[in-house]
Structure 1
């Protein structure tokens, strides 16, 4: 593991004024559950912790006495703004989804991606409160391997929605909404990269979608692990308020002997998800309107060439992934010559 990632995690310090830990009781269908959060966490983060113990997805939760004045608190509000006391007993209404309906309306939709300036990104990444959240997430998140990590391989982390799959269009067969060349892309990448799928949805949805697309049973490659929304953290920016992101340090902290900033690359259609590790993120062109675009979409073909071109480099974090098409074109020219 590189020294930079080690210091990022080990240097986390606790600021008792902004990181007061709260142990809250949640009552749901006659049972009482305990969740631990911090005062700097958002209501959305509280719902994620509740989901861990109840399996009720955040979007299905109604927290009756978590309010901002007379109104229900918005998911982006920080718990410190609500004045919650450790003695509070949160009353929740919500239903567990026993079956996932292949319904695009039921899947999450985030279209309002945004750009953060370099200074603001550095501030978010280096802020002590966010480092503390990272440490808590590494300690608390339970990550199950589907297949063993392979020594000497780099790591490719992939989003699902609009990256591998058009989750808003309708089709009789989900494979009609699969991004073109997906299996060819994963087969070639697997030669040099372990592959982890990370979605901002629930694990049940991730598993169902990957099975429907044949990703978990393909004979030519193996997925190392699946990660869901519970591994994400909430951060706050000056320009765009509170939002969730996918900190790769969660993976690095779980498997430091295999993965680190120097050998990891992540594809996602939302740049905001890279804010804690901007040097490792590549913004992929969203795959939408599959029925209109699947005959012409060749994004995964170009990215395959890019992954091959950089597979022998010692440190991927020093690359400017915004220029990936240039690297890809150069790699193709070298192959033809």
Structure 2
């Protein structure tokens, strides 16, 4: 088995230096470009890496970093721009319908990602370096529920006079019900500042009927390569399991409206129906009420969540699992 070595690469751009500390020698140039984008917001296709060579030519995206003979703290010189249209291209248009999730039939790929030594090494780095700030204490004997925010608990694109108008119906009832059996973690692919503000705005941070264990932001995610989609960021539950030994795939479930976020833990993820157009759907959306029942049932009747197929959660029969 190939030894995986951590790497630090420094990007010099626009008169500044940006250390990239989330790389291994088994990552490719494509992954390097993705990490540069995360640091600088210069999109990969706009990056010109001046001194990144392979056999005397500019290194192609599929070349592994271990083949480039890069010394420790190697400095990559980059030319690129972050024009306003880049931000627009990264945002969902206002009139978009439901996102088509083309990862739905990717079980074999998910399994290969889940067991990849390169990505498991990145998870271990998160366990080592990511600092979790607890908001409450973990409770003995409780299972774990990990929740996304955007389009899972909150419609963050629709216009409204108050943020609470964009809150998914029955949110507080759902969280209060889940809290009986689960410790609750919020994990969003955004900044911690954004998470804290939205949880305050929605009244989640101060509700007396439940408590949140902690928040995780985009820095807790890792990058993985998918052949037909390139490099994407995902949410590996191993970051939590490595720090809290009482939780594992046996007692953890994660809700997200994007299935690719489950790629490191495909059996633990439940793809929730996205909550969009809050002004039209706030009277009819009952997804959280239905999921409350499911969470309660599996907490009572299922000793090992690995036995569950969350894609069929609406047809769960507790009699078959009791």
TM-score normalised over the length of structure 1: 0.76
- The aligned counterpart of 2:205 is 216
**Structure-to-structure mapping, 1:116-155, within 5 angstroms:** 116-155=105-144
Alpha-carbon distance between aligned partners in 2 of 1:77 and 1:150, rounded to the nearest angstrom: 45
The count of corresponding residues between Structure 1 and Structure 2 is: 296
TM-score normalised over the length of structure 2: 0.79
Bigger mean CA offset, 132-141 vs 169-178: 132-141
- The aligned counterpart of 2:187 is 198
Q: CA deviation at 1:22?
A: 2.6
- The aligned counterpart of 1:259 is 247
Which ranges in structure 2 are unaligned for 5 or more consecutive residues? 54-58, 83-87, 93-97
State the secondary structure of the residue aligned to 1:291: helix
Write out per-residue CA displacement over residues 3-62 of structure 1, whole angstroms, 9 at most, x where no aligned residue: xxxxxxxxxx7x34xx443322345787656442224441365248x75xxxxxx54789
- The answer as to 2:24 corresponding to 1:38 is yes
- The answer as to 2:68 corresponding to 1:80 is no
Alpha-carbon distance between aligned partners in 1 of 2:225 and 2:99, rounded to the nearest angstrom: 19
Alpha-carbon distance between aligned partners in 2 of 1:64 and 1:134, rounded to the nearest angstrom: 27
| Cα pair 1:40 1:78 within 8 Å, conserved | no
Q: CA deviation at 1:84?
A: 8.6
Alpha-carbon distance between aligned partners in 1 of 2:277 and 2:112, rounded to the nearest angstrom: 36
- The answer as to 2:147 corresponding to 1:158 is yes
| Cα pair 1:306 1:327 within 8 Å, conserved | yes
Structure 1 residues 82 and 181, CA gap change in structure 2 (3 angstroms): farther
- The aligned counterpart of 1:55 is none
Which ranges in structure 1 are unaligned for 5 or more consecutive residues? 1-12, 52-57, 96-104, 332-337
Q: CA deviation at 1:139?
A: 1.6
| Cα pair 1:107 1:168 within 8 Å, conserved | no
Write out per-residue CA displacement over residues 60-98 of structure 1, whole angstroms, 9 at most, x where no aligned residue: 7899754689xxx99x98773995944315569999xxx
Question: Which residue of 280, 283, 288 maps to 2:268?
Answer: 280
Q: CA deviation at 1:170?
A: 1.1
Question: Which residue of 277, 290, 293 maps to 2:278?
Answer: 290
**Structure-to-structure mapping, 1:215-234, within 5 angstroms:** 215-234=204-223
- The aligned counterpart of 1:236 is 225
- The aligned counterpart of 1:113 is 101
Alpha-carbon distance between aligned partners in 1 of 2:314 and 2:181, rounded to the nearest angstrom: 19
Q: CA deviation at 1:111?
A: 3.3
